[in-house]
Structure 1
């Protein structure tokens, strides 16, 4: 569904869009702690490549929770699961929604690029890796990635061991490029850490006997959820959020038919964006309000468009990396990026430096202090706040 240059009615006002998104993300008023899994569902998952960032994302949206509560929900109650989510990156997802996410993500075509052709897995090899991973994880003790690698290579042979995948510490074996695919297929999720090492286990331990949802139904539901939390938006925005081909995303939006309602985009460029037709008026009852300190790769900033409105002016230069959101921790005012911040932990203390791009009002300065206190509470640390320049690099 290509963006139209013909004005659509009604027009989505930017303050109204921000207010609705903040409400859907529980960033206007935090939700009760008991609704943690619902909040994570509304986000489309909490990015957890940096676990402390995921804990902050969830904690800022739920009243009174700390990192211990997030970890309890993940490792003890198992209402959350850590696995490979949108974009093939590590996320926390509601455990009860594993059928939805595995049904949808396994059906998303690759956006292109990646490894040289000679290093890639073909379809048959990918299937073999997924089956080997699933078989290797039918053990009582969740293995580390090195232990899992040994088990997979033992099952598949030398071709799986070829060191052709660039990693953080050298070249990884060929099979590792299908690690996130195994997660998307429901063969793998993360297990409890073993010291500083991550482990992997079977998702059946979180949701015994689960079966991935029908792909078409799952993809349609994920698209609707994206629009409910990040809309109004277009297929290109959805494709970027999911790391999917644009044409494929346009076809998916087109398949939703009358389930979508076109509106004129808030950027005023004449483009058309879409919201769910079964929703009420797109304008919330109140204007957006509030200041937040959002962590790396927070769902709100990663999924929200248009970028020029979410990251206006200097915010685009300071808080985006070639258009990619999330590589910098940001201060938002009324749903718009208005500064950056940094944290450095030392024992029981966490030093927070916050830099606003403009002058904050006394009320907003008070909110910065409140947010710093809340960050400390979530991280179970004593915060020390400094207002001043942030000159640290981006998290890539």
Structure 2
């Protein structure tokens, strides 16, 4: 028998599990980040906002302390090969799973590609280069890897942001997914890389089969009900492989009908109801986990939100204002010293209650970023973050 629930039920469940309905108490950063399936951290201030909005009283300093001092969070390559903050205790899970996700054929010219043996050699060289040393920058890591592997690794064949990168760089994400390295503290404005052992002594990736099944459970707990195709998009994995992975969980998953749309949920979630209330307005940062992982897009980004806040179906390239978990506007921020200017464009008229909520949310953004917020309403013309 297929369960039936409404989109309102789905939204209420997701908001609760993302702690967007009621922020978590202070000190629960790892649990909150784990419930999100990681916080996107390509833009570090966005990760700080994502975590801060879900926890009471958290500032960017608290997030940085959890990452670099307490080491309860770790910065690593996560889903889709993008930089994420993850709970340190879950690093074996994520590396075990992500290393097992099939990768598409390289789009590089044949002469520039690496074979499996070369990729394995790069991963081993990276692991050796970051072990028991001061965390190197990318240039320092490159020198160390090339010194270990020889001239073939140095061939400038990989297109980069400012020219061509050496051949070995195309396996950098693979090294991260296999647990050969994670990110270390910045040196000035330059990122560094280090060994996961510094965060989790004795670190080893979890067995692939167990890890993949657990990632499906994590995903459906945070974003379900969902289809295997939506999971594939979230993980940047082949659709057929994702469908087979869902099937492998057997009775742990149950079919559910969401107002005519078939999907899957965890069997443990069948019959679970989360009361939907008039949730407050939220200012979601770039690539926030909730907006990136939630489907279908037409439900989360209705009407003009789909046109203004999505890029070919991709969410996160524009910061969105949500009301009750649905995109209802876009916003932009510009920092200047101790001030942060917030400009919000609403897609619907905001009554006094919503305007008060917007002011409260702007103040909270300022607290998290440790800056004085200056809020204005009007058209947002800033480009998308690619």
Deviation larger for 12-21 or 346-355: 12-21
2:326 corresponds to: 336
Q: Secondary structure at the match of 2:21?
A: coil
Q: Distance in 1 between matches of 2:296 and 2:314?
A: 12
Counterpart contact for 1:19–1:288, Cα < 8 Å: no
1:372 corresponds to: 362
Q: Secondary structure at the match of 2:268?
A: coil
1:263 corresponds to: 256
Q: Distance in 1 between matches of 2:76 and 2:224?
A: 25
**TM-score when scaled to structure 1?**
0.95
Counterpart contact for 2:2–2:254, Cα < 8 Å: no
1:85 equivalent in alignment to 2:75: no
Q: Displacement, 1:280?
A: 4.5
Counterpart contact for 1:232–1:273, Cα < 8 Å: yes
Q: Distance in 1 between matches of 2:57 and 2:320?
A: 21
Mapping of residues 308-387 of structure 1, within 5 Å: 308-387=298-377
Q: Displacement, 1:159?
A: 1.1
Q: Distance in 1 between matches of 2:106 and 2:272?
A: 37
Q: Distance in 2 between matches of 1:276 and 1:288?
A: 26
Mapping of residues 229-268 of structure 1, within 5 Å: 229-266=222-259, 268=260
**TM-score when scaled to structure 2?**
0.98
Q: Secondary structure at the match of 2:314?
A: coil
Q: CA RMSD for the aligned pairs?
A: 1.2
Q: Distance in 2 between matches of 1:89 and 1:383?
A: 29
Q: Secondary structure at the match of 1:34?
A: coil
Q: Displacement, 1:364?
A: 1.1
Q: Distance in 1 between matches of 2:277 and 2:245?
A: 32
Q: Secondary structure at the match of 2:3?
A: coil
1:4 corresponds to: none
2:117 corresponds to: 124
Q: Displacement, 1:32?
A: 1.1
Q: Secondary structure at the match of 1:261?
A: strand
Q: Distance in 1 between matches of 2:143 and 2:354?
A: 54
Q: Displacement, 1:139?
A: 3.3
2:94 corresponds to: 101
Counterpart contact for 2:18–2:54, Cα < 8 Å: yes
Q: 1:153 aligns with which of 146, 150, 155?
A: 146
Q: Which runs of 5+ in 2 are unaligned?
A: none
1:388 corresponds to: 378
Mapping of residues 113-262 of structure 1, within 5 Å: 114-262=107-255
Q: Distance in 1 between matches of 2:246 and 2:334?
A: 42
1:70 corresponds to: 63
Q: Which has the higher contact order (CA 8 A, sep 6+)?
A: 1
Q: Displacement, 1:211?
A: 1.3
Q: Distance in 2 between matches of 1:339 and 1:195?
A: 35
Q: Secondary structure at the match of 1:278?
A: helix
Counterpart contact for 2:106–2:113, Cα < 8 Å: no
How far does the alpha carbon of each residue in 1:85-127 deviate from its partner, in whole angstroms, 9 at most, with x for none?
0000000000111111111011011144532333222111110
Counterpart contact for 1:288–1:335, Cα < 8 Å: no
Aligned positions, number: 386
Q: Displacement, 1:161?
A: 1.0
Q: Secondary structure at the match of 2:320?
A: strand
Q: Which runs of 5+ in 1 are unaligned?
A: 1-7
Give the 4+ runs in structure 1 shifted more than 6 A.
none
Counterpart contact for 2:159–2:165, Cα < 8 Å: yes
116 and 288 in structure 1: CA distance in 2 versus 1, 3 angstrom threshold: farther
Counterpart contact for 2:8–2:276, Cα < 8 Å: no
Q: Secondary structure at the match of 1:128?
A: helix
Q: Distance in 1 between matches of 2:95 and 2:81?
A: 12
Q: Distance in 2 between matches of 1:321 and 1:161?
A: 35
Counterpart contact for 1:220–1:252, Cα < 8 Å: yes
Q: Secondary structure at the match of 1:107?
A: coil
Q: Displacement, 1:10?
A: 2.5
Q: Distance in 2 between matches of 1:282 and 1:246?
A: 28
Q: Distance in 1 between matches of 2:108 and 2:84?
A: 23
